[in-house]
Amino acid sequence: MLAAIRPTDWNWLLFGHLLAAFALVAGVIVVILTSAAAMWSGRPQHAPLLRTIGFRANLVVVIPAFVAIHILGGLLADREFPGGTKEPSWLGASFAITTIATVVAVVLALLQYWTLRRARTGSVRGWQALTATCVPPVVLAALVAVIVLMAGKP
């Protein structure tokens, strides 16, 4: 169903794009779960471990997956809408949202590092921790919006 309207010779690109997207969403969910648990689980002794996992998930999974979906998505878009063809609005909106989300993920990594350093010294609360906990769900919501745009092509 996923490839219902694409020619078969693009399938490898689409498959790679989808794998990167699945990994991206998984990475963001790991960041959400660990950040929320670090903030609200009531076990501050585990906050450094959870913040470390969230930080590494962002660095190792989320940001590389954002880069991968940009590259593979761009290649797919170039084939579907070759030079001179006007891109549809859903594609432009998807690229814009994804680009903003990528920048947010990079800024989030810096914030996560700060939060992790504070957690290791015993400070598990504060605006840094709260922001590092509340931003990942926003990134996930943006990704859901992109999935709707990509699948529905309104």
Partner 1 sequence: MSTYDWLLVFHLLAAFCLVSGSVVAGILHWLAMRRDRPSEIALLLGLVRPMVVVIGVGSLAALGFGIWLTQDDPDGISLTDGWVIAAIVLWFAAGALAGPAGKRLRHARELAERMAADGDGPSEALHDAVADRTALVLNYVSFAMVIAILVLMVFKPGAG
Q: Where are the alpha helices (DSSP H) in 58-125?
A: 63-80, 89-120
Kindly state whether residue 29 participates in binding partner 1, applying the rule CB under 8 A.
Answer: yes
Kindly state whether residue 57 participates in binding partner 1, applying the rule CB under 8 A.
Answer: yes
Choose the stretch contacting partner 1; rule: CB under 8 A; options: 31-39, 78-86, 91-99, 125-133: 31-39
Kindly state whether residue 15 participates in binding partner 1, applying the rule CB under 8 A.
Answer: yes
Amino acid letter for position 62 = V
Kindly state whether residue 96 participates in binding partner 1, applying the rule CB under 8 A.
Answer: no
Q: Is 59 exposed, middle or buried (0-12, 13-18, 19+ CB in 10 A)?
A: middle
Quick one: which of 34, 58, 98, 133 contacts partner 1 (CB under 8 A)? 34
Interatomic CA distance for residues 44 and 90, integer angstroms: 43
Kindly state whether residue 121 participates in binding partner 1, applying the rule CB under 8 A.
Answer: no
